[in-house]
Copies of this chain bind each other. A is one copy, B any other.
Amino acid sequence: MLQIKFNRSHNQLAASSNTANRSLKADDALLLVAASEGDSNMLYAVGFFVPDPFIFFQHKKKKYVVMSDLELDRAKRQATVDQVLSLSGYQRKLRKAGSPATMIGILELLFRERGIRSLRVPANFSALLADQLRAKGFNLEVMPDPFFPEREIKRAQEVRHITESLRVAKLGLNAGIRMLKRTESRPDGYLYLNGSKLTSETLKTAVNTTIMAQGWLPSHTIISSGNQCVDPHHEGTGPIKANTSIIFDIFPRSQKNGYFGDLSRTVVRGRASDKLKKIYSTVQAGQKIGFDLIRDGLNGREVHQKILDLFAREGFPTGQIKGRMQGFFHGTGHGLGLDIHEAPRIAPVDATLKSGHVVTVEPGLYYLGIGGVRLEDVVLVTDKGNKNLTDCPQFLEI
């Protein structure tokens, strides 16, 4: 799923913070308070899904979670930490001491017991808890992203999880393609399935239920057609015409381990215009630049610029046309893992690719009246180049 430019501000935000002095002092602790279902740093830290917020901290190379009685047993079995502490135990201690068993009370007790005075928290840490911890005298340092820099470099198992999610994305895509192949076009220009106009919604049902049946979660799948494609975050709605571009952008998340797949393909049911065919082959050529260049040490900005240059040379400029952004106006790629969009980016920002990065390569071209094309594969960056983790053919007309 393409990433819009706004996130650049976030990256620059991080880059502009003082990251030089990040060496962890021995007595500093890392602290997270979040639900692992909604926070990918927490999921990375503990390795299992919990729907409600809880405490994780890391001190002197040991990892701890503080769990309610309800989650204690599951945490002991599943959490990838050194020690599971009992929340109710700390609540009882506080009440015995006549203090309310609040979150801040529990944190204070936890850290005082261990002589911890300095805490490092992620950028998205609760501003309220941050204020409360400082009011209690803790030295709190808010770290710019990435909080766990090692998250960028995928371990072999993480690569397998992502590859598996890509396989499921492809199953979903294939269900959509199969449905499209069962449609007929009528003189009104629309595609019909079993006598009714085929809609984006019907196609999404085919794709999403196929993915769901595998146990993956397909949220906000994009299946847009025609001019809808020119708004790349348009999820797609309504009837679909024959002979026009249909973009599938499918990013299922495993409900077991949380890793995403991310796959985009563009097809036409019927015949594509010559212009659209030219756009399609140009986007393919743009993607090939990515496949050819991406390797350890490369600056993502360079790849992105070379693709833009190719597109311009081929007659496909990027910019405002009749008040609308057209051309190639999103990033070439983004990191993929426990977040659908994570570092590094391949975009008009400096970002050095490293072995172990897993990134999308998804150039696109979008013009009103012609349609849009986006092709997205996922590659693992290696010392010598990259390995395409996506095993899915590309074809335009079906």
Contact = CB atoms under 8 A, between A and B. Distances in A.
A13 B103 contact: yes
Interface in A25-74: 37-38, 49-54, 67-71, 73-74
A7 B218 contact: no
Contacts of A106: 9
A130 B208 CA distance: 38
Contacts of A330: 70
B219 A101 contact: no
Contact of A101 (B12, B69, B218, B340): B12
A126 B124 contact: yes
Interface stretch (A209-217, A260-268, A290-298, A376-384): A209-217
Contacts of A325: 69-70
A46 B340 CA distance: 22
A330 B51 CA distance: 14
B329 A233 contact: no
Nearest to A106: B9
**Protomer copies:** 2
Nearest to A230: B73
Contacts of A305: none
A155 interface: no
A212 B202 CA distance: 11
Contact of A217 (B54, B71, B122, B217): B217
A24 interface: no
Interface of A is mostly: mixed
A142 to B, nearest CB: 5
Given A9-B102, A201-B215, A220-B51, A70 B329 contact: yes
Interface string A197-229: 000010011001101110101111000000000
Nearest to A218: B212
A144 B129 CA distance: 10
Interface in A54-111: 54, 67-71, 73-74, 87-88, 91, 100-104, 106
A231 B12 contact: no
A288 interface: no
A123 interface: yes
Interface string A1-16: 1011111111011001
12 contacts: A5-B70, A6-B87, A8-B101, A10-B103, A52-B341, A70-B325, A74-B231, A123-B126, A123-B128, A125-B126, A209-B212, A209-B213
